[in-house]
Amino acid sequence: MRLLVRTVDTPPVRWYAGTCGEPTAAGPCPAELYAPTGAPTVRCGLCGAAMTRRPAGMAAGAGADQLLHAGWMASALAALGTPVPVNTIRVWAHRGQIAAHGTDRQGRPVYRVADVLDRVRHAA
Q: Give the pLDDT confidence of 18-69 residue by residue, as tens digits.
A: 778 888 888 888 888 887 766 778 888 899 888 775 444 444 444 667 888 9
For residue 75, pLDDT beyond 90: no
pLDDT of residue 94: 96
Q: Give the pLDDT confidence of 81-120 residue by residue, as tens digits.
A: 788 999 999 999 999 999 999 998 889 999 998 899 899 9
Q: DSSP letter string over 76-117?
A: HHHHTT----HHHHHHHHHTTSS-EEEE-TTS-EEEEHHHHH
Domain hosting residue 90, numbered range: 9-123
Name the burial class of residue 1, with classes exposed (0-12), middle (13-18) and buried (19+) by CB atoms within 10 angstroms of its CB: exposed
Tell whether 17 is covered by a domain.
yes
Tell whether 93 is covered by a domain.
yes
pLDDT of residue 56: 41
pTM for this prediction: 0.54
Angstrom distance (rounded) from CA 112 to CA 99? 8
Tell whether 4 is covered by a domain.
no
Tell whether 2 is covered by a domain.
no
Of 120, 30, 11, 56, whose CA–CA distance to 111 is shortest? 120
Question: What percent of the chain lies above the pLDDT cut of 90?
Answer: 25
pLDDT of residue 60: 45
Domain total in the chain: 1
Count of Cβ atoms closer than 10 Å to residue 55 Cβ: 12
